[in-house]
Chains A and B, each alone.
Chain A
Amino acid sequence: MAAINREDVAHLARLAHIEMSSDELDRMAGELAVIVDSVKSVSEAAGDGVPATSHPIPLTNVFREDVVGHTLSAEQALSGAPDAAQNRFKVPAILDEA
């Protein structure tokens, strides 16, 4: 299994929308390499025949009656937002048009 390097971390940070300085990338790559190395054994622990468990206590078909209940008002939902306008979350430009 490939070790994690600085370029990997830079790519992952872009995917995760976290800006990272050059120093941060170096430090994070070193720390993550150690952690990834320590969890390697996991990939060899279970054979092909072992099913995966995604949920410790599986419940199936969790539905509720389709009735209108209490929901947050637009004002409540927007109350913690950094910016809002016209009952909506307000964000800067979605596309880079500069």
Chain B
Amino acid sequence: MTETPTGAIPARELIRLSAADLANRLAAGEVTSVEATQAYLDRIADVDGGERGVNAFLHVNAEEALAVAAEVDAIRATGGEAAGALHELAGVPIAIKDLIVTVGQPTTAGSKILEGWHSPYDATVIKRIRAAKMPILGKTNLDEFAMGSSTEHSAYGPTRNPWDLDRIPGGSGGGSAAAVAAFEAPLALGTDTGGSIRQPGAVTGTVGVKPTYGSVSRYGAIAMASSLDQIGPVSRTVLDSALLHQVIGGHDPFDSTSLPEPLADLVAAARMGNVEGMRIGIIKELHGEGYQPGVENRFNESLDLLRNAGATIVEVSCPNFQYALGAYYLIMPSEASSNLAKFDGVRFGLRVLPEDPPLTIERVMAATRASGFGDEVKRRIILGTYALSAGYYDAYYGSAQKVRTLVQRDFDAAFEQADVLISPTAPTTAFRLGEKLDDPLAMYLNDVATIPANLAGVPGLSLPGGLADEDGLPVGIQLLAPAREDARLYRVGAVLESLLEQSWGGPMLDRAPALASTADSVDSSAVTAAPNHGGSL
């Protein structure tokens, strides 16, 4: 590990600072952005590569990141108006899920079909991150086209969970969550279509937020299911997600689903510090049977903490949530089959020629898609084509859209009784790599608690809720709020996080095992991180 020679803060401590803390120290001149950015790049070089590395990054953007960092440092050193005009997060590095297009770096979507492709334009969220002068560390791994719950469907190998390298980091945004959990980045961007920000957050002990649909521009996020997709923040603290959410949010004329009106002040909500008098609703259908006992125990502890802090806990019922998973697995593949039609060997990336003549465009498309797409993507395209085909459309896609109305009505009724809803984020802790790879249906069940929010467009936040008794692995607590009321998530989330950290005596990630360096290792068996889930979190 490289120590920063001149910095007041050693690199190993620098990388563990929250984004808010790092931003304060940058502003105070205690540390430079180049030092912080270099510390993260060194950490990536140290733990990400090799057979037993985390494999959170598909591309590392060192040169550009250091150039942006140096620019911020130079502006700060000059002082005056330019320094005063710097964004609060200027100089704080960030990692980007490789589903979001970036000029100057490859964008693969975790697929062979886009290998080597470079976008000619930046996503709106990337433009905003560049405007805030946040150094971009690189692009993070994901299930191919964000289709999966384990990051095992990446064409570039799975990401490993920093808590246990033999387990999945969740998906599809496993790379972003693992990068933040392994202190390879203080912040990251993810995308959430059915839980792809929140579920990886839950199983890696990090914070992840799916904003209200339309409140963060989707322009430049490679679309999977356009009526469900949403870009959002990944971080180690609730406040850090609020800070990032404010950078990327707001109306964008390039996205016709973008909400015209701004959200309430999210950072102020995260700093409010009380939940007295708030009504917090337990969703009857989203805990209990089918949820791991250790998940259920940590969930109940969070309820006790909120109750003691003056919140009123009520129980609500959302009976139509039982159909949500089924509806999702009709709507999502239907929209995906249409969105992915553009990857045909004509405009982007790969072109594969059929082995035998005739060499027609139709046969080139079929050969390109056969070789460029992985199994899960093919499964979903076929399923979606089926659900949309003549004779089945009403029974499948049409019915699923009606269920969507019923799920929205359930949410509406629940939010009459409660200001915020609460549930475990995922039914289990992280499972072993390979465990569910041959059983698509078992894999889909991971998203049972996160999917309703996407169907209804409401915002959701997952935060660390402790470690499960039976396996010592992270459990996530999910908060849900009405559409446009994202501020409530940050208000309750920050209070719950602070109460939980008081009960643990520090952040949950302090209990994660130390990652061994993989940088110089040839013998992969020698660098297995020692399991160290101990403690009574």
Contacts of A19 in B (CB 8 A): 354, 366-367, 369-370
* Partner pick for B440 among A13, A18, A31, A81, CB 8 A cutoff: A31
In the bound assembly, the distance between CA atoms of A40 and B215 in angstroms comes to 33
Contacts of A85 in B (CB 8 A): none
Q: Is the CB of B119 within 8 A of A18?
A: no
Say what secondary structure dominates the interface of chain B: helix
In the bound assembly, the distance between CA atoms of A77 and B108 in angstroms comes to 17
Q: Is the CB of B457 within 8 A of A32?
A: no
In the bound assembly, the distance between CA atoms of A83 and B213 in angstroms comes to 37
Contacts of B354 in A (CB 8 A): 19
* B interface residues, how many (CB within 8 angstroms): 76
Q: Does B350 contact A (CB under 8 A)?
A: yes
Contacts of A46 in B (CB 8 A): 399, 402-403, 405-406
Q: Does B408 contact A (CB under 8 A)?
A: yes
In the bound assembly, the distance between CA atoms of A56 and B399 in angstroms comes to 15
Q: Does A79 contact B (CB under 8 A)?
A: yes
Contacts of A9 in B (CB 8 A): 382
Q: Is the CB of B378 within 8 A of A77?
A: no
Q: A17-B369, A57-B457 are in contact. Are A45 and B401 (CB under 8 A)?
A: no
In the bound assembly, the distance between CA atoms of A92 and B362 in angstroms comes to 9
Q: Is the CB of A59 within 8 A of B320?
A: no
Contacts of B213 in A (CB 8 A): 56-57
| Cβ-closest chain B residue relative to A45 | B323
Say what secondary structure dominates the interface of chain A: loop
Contacts of B362 in A (CB 8 A): 17, 96
Q: Is the CB of B382 within 8 A of A13?
A: yes
Q: Does A98 contact B (CB under 8 A)?
A: yes
The total of interchain contacts (Cβ-Cβ below 8 angstroms) comes to: 187
| Cβ-closest chain B residue relative to A70 | B121
Q: Is the CB of B364 within 8 A of A53?
A: no
Contacts of B483 in A (CB 8 A): 56-57
Q: Is the CB of A92 within 8 A of B349?
A: no
Q: Does A39 contact B (CB under 8 A)?
A: yes
Contacts of B455 in A (CB 8 A): 56
Contacts of B441 in A (CB 8 A): 34-35, 38
Interface residue ranges, B against A (CB under 8 Å): 117-121, 212-214, 227-228, 253, 256-257, 259-260, 320, 322-323, 326-327, 329-330, 337, 341, 344-351, 353-354, 357-362, 364-367, 369-370, 373, 378-379, 381-383, 385-386, 389, 395-396, 398-406, 408, 440-441, 444, 454-458, 483
Please give me the 10 A-B residue pairs with the lowest Cβ-Cβ distance, nearest first: A56-B457, A46-B402, A82-B351, A52-B401, A19-B370, A76-B120, A39-B326, A98-B358, A42-B326, A53-B404
Q: List 29 A-B contacts (CB under 8 A).
A: A8-B386, A12-B385, A12-B386, A16-B381, A16-B385, A18-B369, A20-B378, A36-B386, A38-B329, A39-B329, A41-B323, A42-B323, A42-B396, A44-B399, A45-B399, A45-B403, A52-B402, A53-B401, A55-B227, A57-B213, A57-B483, A59-B259, A79-B118, A79-B120, A82-B349, A82-B351, A91-B361, A92-B364, A98-B357
